[in-house]
Amino acid sequence: MTATHQHQHGGPPSATPQKMTPAWKLLATLAVAGAAAGWLVVMVYNVTLPAIQKHAGEQVDGAVREVLKAPVRWDTLYLIGNAVTATPPAGSNIRELTKAFVGFDAAGARIGVAVVAAEPGFQELLTLMIGFDPSTGALTGYKVLDQKETPGLGDKVEVDKSFGAQFAGRIVPLKGVKTLVAGNPSQVQTITGATISSRAVIRIINDAVAKWRPLLEAHDRGGQR
């Protein structure tokens, strides 16, 4: 009798004593773990950053070389506000600036200018490096820097060399057609099954040249090289 009575007061016997961890201990655990994780991430970030930036630079260099048909050297121009300049204002982060690369051949003559442009493709941003001659509006070529077009169809704008090759020498503004008309210097044949991606490439090139050509001409008139 007394046993059961006491038992009722003692609470349910099955309840194992659930020990609560004090709040300061929880906070300390998370604070130490967070600090250690942050330290580790920063360490590895510092170690890997030079290599990552080097790869990015190499990718841009390779693209400039490809679209300007192997220039001997190139100058970099910076877009500041609404004007192009060879000398960025002091204190500006060169990495963040919009650039144009002016390529020269062995004789010192200008081959063309390479610029980066991005616009929506079939499903994602399509980023191109575009080479053209600002004085004539003739293209020297383009290279896809980044694309998420449909594999096997839209990605032919990057993979299919015969499509890419027809841009060299074409006069902007380009027009995409299914069948080429002989003697028209502005026509480009679109890829069967990838019409939208082909047209996106043409649109990006037309827009980029339309944007950069007056800027570069104004810069040339300024007389500074």
Q: Are 68 and 131 in contact (CB under 8 A)?
A: yes
What residues between 145 and 184 interact with another protein by CB under 8 A?
A: 146, 150-153
Burial 67-86 (b: 16+ CB within 10 A, else e): bbeebeebeebbbeeeebee
CA pair distance 51, 55, nearest whole angstrom: 6
> Closer to another protein at the Cβ: 53 or 135?
53
CA pair distance 207, 176, nearest whole angstrom: 14
> Closer to another protein at the Cβ: 80 or 153?
153
DSSP of 139-168, one letter per residue?
EEEEEEEE--PPTTTTTHHHH-HHHHHTTT
> Closer to another protein at the Cβ: 41 or 218?
41
The one among 52, 70, 83, 177 contacting another protein by CB under 8 A: 52
> Closer to another protein at the Cβ: 14 or 82?
14
86 binds another protein (CB under 8 A): no
195 binds another protein (CB under 8 A): no
Query: What single-letter DSSP state applies at residue 89?
Result: P
57 binds another protein (CB under 8 A): no
Burial 170-196 (b: 16+ CB within 10 A, else e): bbbebebeeeeeeeeeebbebbeebeb
Given the rule CB under 8 A, which of 6-14, 21-29, 130-138, 209-217 is the region that contacts another protein? 21-29
- Closest distance to another protein from the beta carbon of 186 (Å): 31
Q: Which of 141, 6, 9 is nearest to 65 (CA)?
A: 141
218 binds another protein (CB under 8 A): no
The one among 51, 90, 106, 182 contacting another protein by CB under 8 A: 51
CA pair distance 59, 37, nearest whole angstrom: 31
125 binds another protein (CB under 8 A): no
CA pair distance 174, 187, nearest whole angstrom: 6
192 binds another protein (CB under 8 A): no
Place of tokens 């016997």: 13
What residues between 26 and 45 interact with another protein by CB under 8 A?
A: 26, 29-30, 33-34, 37, 40-41, 44-45
> Closer to another protein at the Cβ: 98 or 123?
123
Which residues would be at the binding site for another protein (CB under 8 A)?
21, 25-26, 29-30, 33-34, 37, 40-41, 44-45, 47-48, 51-52, 55-56, 59, 146, 150-153
